C-alpha cells in the first residue's frame, strides 16, 4: 500500500519540484510502486550495501563518500525514495519498451541540495549486483564487468571537475553500461547499435577491395561534405544517385578519407557483394575519456571485440563496427603530427561525412565548451593549439563517422586508405 503522503506520482513530483522531463514516468508508476517496501528499508539504500557496491567497483574513498552522501539524503526524503524505487524498477526490472518510453532522465533540482545531485548515480549503482549476475550468466569475465561499470565513477568525477560538486547527470549514456548493452574491452568501449549511416558498402569479390557508396538522394557540397555541415546550409549542392539495373550499379563513391565523390562510378553487379549498410547489426565504438588513445591498445580492443561478441552474444551477428566522433575529423591530418594518436586512429577506419556535422563535441571535449574569443583560449596542448589555429585561419571543425568490417581487421595497416580488404 502506498504511503498516504505520496499516493500518486503527481504528489511526488510536486514535493521534489520536478520538471516535465519526468512526465513519462507516470505511465508505469503503479507497476513499480506495487512492490515498494513501505515498511522496511530499501536494501540498496543501506550504508553497508552502498559501501560494498563502491568497493566492488573499486571507487576511491572520495567518490564512495559522495555516494554515501546521496544515500543519506535519499533515506531522509520519502518522495525521493519513491522516485528512486521507480527508477530502479525501470532500469532493472521493467520491459525494455517501458524503459525506452521513460524518455530522457532528468536531474533533480539543485535547490534540493548536494545529495540530490547523486540521484542518477545511486539508481545506477543500485543494480550493480543484477548486472554482475546477468553478465556471469553469459560467461562474461568479471574483470570486463567491473571495468565496464567503472565509467560510473569516471563520469561522477567529471561532474565534480566541471561544477565543483559531486553528482551524476550522464544517465542517458551510463544506462547502456548497466543494461548489458555496452562493454569496455581494454581501451575502447563497444555497444550494440544498428548502422545508421546512409551508405551501401560493397566488396569486390575478386580482390576483396571495399567500396562505400552513398545512398540515393543524399545532398553534398562541392567538397563532398553534407550540404548542411558546419552550421550552414549550402545553396549550391549536388545529389547522390544509387541505381542498379541488374547488370551495373551506378552510384557516388565515398572516399575512405571521408568525402563523397561527385563523379559517379559504375560497378558490375556480378563482381560485387553487399556487405553492410543502414539497419545492419553493428557495434558502436566509443573512446572513453580515460587517458591517451594508445594506438596498439586501440587495436587490441578491436581484436577483443571480434572475439567477445560472437562468444558471449552469438545471437547478434556483427556485420560491422560504426562510430561517430569529433576524433574522426579528417582535418586533423593536416593539423596534427602524422604520428599523433588521433591521426593514427582515424586513418585506420573508412571515414564518412555526417549530415549536420559540427564542432560542438570538439570544443566540449577539448575546451569544456564553446570558445568565444580564440585569442584567450587555453593553449596548453598541441591539440588545443591546432584547433585554435584552424579557427583563426577561417576553418571549421566537424565530427565524422566511420565503419570497419570485422573481416578486414588488420590494425596498423590502414586497409581502407590503401584500397585493401580481405582477399576472398
pLDDT tens column, 217-266: 999 999 999 999 999 999 999 999 999 999 999 999 999 999 999 999 99
End-to-end CA distance of the chain: 65
DSSP 205-230: TTT--EEEEEPTT-EE-TTSSBTTGG
Rounded CA-CA distance 281/215 in Å is: 18
Q: Supply the pTM of this predicted model.
A: 0.92
Rounded CA-CA distance 221/291 in Å is: 36
Residue 421, pLDDT above cutoff 50 = no
Q: What is the CA radius of gyration of the chain?
A: 24
Residue 334, pLDDT above cutoff 90 = yes
For residue 265, tell me if it sits in a domain.
no
How many domains would you assign to the chain?
1
* CB distance 417 to 256 below 8 Å: yes
The SS3 of residue 268 is strand
For residue 145, tell me if it sits in a domain.
yes
CA distances from 279 to 22, 196, 350, 354 (A): 30, 6, 18, 16
For residue 317, tell me if it sits in a domain.
no
Residue 423, pLDDT above cutoff 70 = no
Domain with 36 in it: 4-180
* DSSP bridge partners of 276: 201
Which pLDDT value is given to residue 424?
A: 29
For residue 116, tell me if it sits in a domain.
yes
Which pLDDT value is given to residue 6?
A: 66
For residue 186, tell me if it sits in a domain.
no
How big is the chain, counted in residues? 424
Residue 65, pLDDT above cutoff 70 = yes
Query: Mean pLDDT in the chain?
Result: 94
Rounded CA-CA distance 360/375 in Å is: 19
For residue 139, tell me if it sits in a domain.
yes
Cell triple for residue 378? 587555453
For residue 118, tell me if it sits in a domain.
yes
Rounded CA-CA distance 173/154 in Å is: 12
For residue 83, tell me if it sits in a domain.
yes
Cell triple for residue 326? 569529433
**39 class by beta-carbon count within 10 Å (0-12 exposed, 13-18 middle, 19+ buried):** exposed
Amino acid at each position: 500500500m502506498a504511503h498516504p503522503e505520496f499516493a500518486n506520482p503527481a504528489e511526488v513530483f510536486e514535493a521534489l519540484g520536478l520538471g516535465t522531463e519526468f512526465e513519462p514516468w507516470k505511465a508505469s508508476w503503479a507497476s513499480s510502486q506495487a512492490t515498494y517496501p513501505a515498511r522496511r528499508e530499501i536494501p540498496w539504500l543501506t550504508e553497508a550495501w552502498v559501501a560494498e557496491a563502491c568497493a566492488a567497483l573499486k571507487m576511491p574513498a572520495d567518490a564512495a563518500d559522495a555516494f554515501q552522501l546521496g544515500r543519506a539524503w535519499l533515506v531522509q526524503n520519502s518522495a525521493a525514495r519513491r522516485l528512486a524505487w521507480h527508477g530502479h524498477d525501470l532500469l532493472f526490472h521493467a520491459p525494455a519498451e517501458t524503459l525506452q518510453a521513460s524518455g530522457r532522465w532528468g536531474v533533480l533540482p539543485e535547490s534540493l541540495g548536494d545529495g540530490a545531485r547523486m540521484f542518477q548515480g545511486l539508481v545506477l549503482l543500485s543494480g550493480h549486483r543484477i548486472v554482475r549476475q546477468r553478465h556471469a550468466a553469459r560467461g562474461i569475465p568479471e574483470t570486463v564487468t567491473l571495468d565496464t561499470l567503472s565509467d560510473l565513477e569516471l563520469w561522477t568525477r567529471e561532474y565534480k571537475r566541471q561544477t565543483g560538486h559531486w553528482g551524476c547527470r550522464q544517465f542517458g549514456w551510463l544506462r547502456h553500461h548497466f543494461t548489458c548493452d555496452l562493454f569496455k574491452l581494454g581501451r575502447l568501449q563497444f555497444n550494440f547499435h544498428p548502422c545508421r549511416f546512409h551508405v551501401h558498402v560493397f566488396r569486390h569479390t575478386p580482390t576483396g577491395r571495399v567500396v562505400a557508396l552513398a545512398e540515393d538522394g543524399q545532398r553534398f557540397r562541392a567538397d563532398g561534405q553534407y550540404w548542411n555541415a558546419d552550421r550552414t546550409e549550402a545553396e549550391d549542392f549536388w545529389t547522390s544517385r544509387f541505381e542498379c539495373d541488374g547488370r551495373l550499379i551506378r552510384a557516388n563513391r565515398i572516399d575512405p578519407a571521408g568525402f563523397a565523390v561527385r563523379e559517379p562510378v559504375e560497378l558490375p553487379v556480378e563482381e560485387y557483394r553487399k556487405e553492410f549498410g543502414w539497419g545492419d547489426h553493428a557495434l558502436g565504438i566509443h573512446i572513453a575519456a580515460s587517458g591517451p588513445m594508445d594506438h596498439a591498445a586501440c587495436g587490441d580492443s578491436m581484436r577483443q571485440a571480434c572475439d567477445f561478441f560472437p562468444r558471449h552474444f552469438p545471437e547478434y551477428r556483427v556485420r560491422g563496427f560504426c562510430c561517430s566522433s569529433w576524433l574522426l575529423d579528417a582535418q586533423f591530418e593536416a593539423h596534427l603530427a602524422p604520428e599523433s594518436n588521433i591521426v593514427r586512429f582515424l586513418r585506420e577506419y573508412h571515414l564518412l561525412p555526417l549530415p549536420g556535422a559540427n564542432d560542438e563535441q570538439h570544443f566540449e571535449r577539448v575546451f569544456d565548451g564553446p570558445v568565444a574569443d580564440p585569442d584567450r583560449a587555453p593553449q596548453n596542448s598541441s591539440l588545443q593549439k591546432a584547433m585554435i589555429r584552424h579557427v583563426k585561419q577561417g576553418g571549421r571543425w566537424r565530427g565524422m563517422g566511420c565503419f570497419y568490417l570485422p573481416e578486414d581487421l588488420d590494425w596498423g595497416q590502414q586497409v581502407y586508405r590503401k584500397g585493401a580488404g580481405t582477399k576472398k
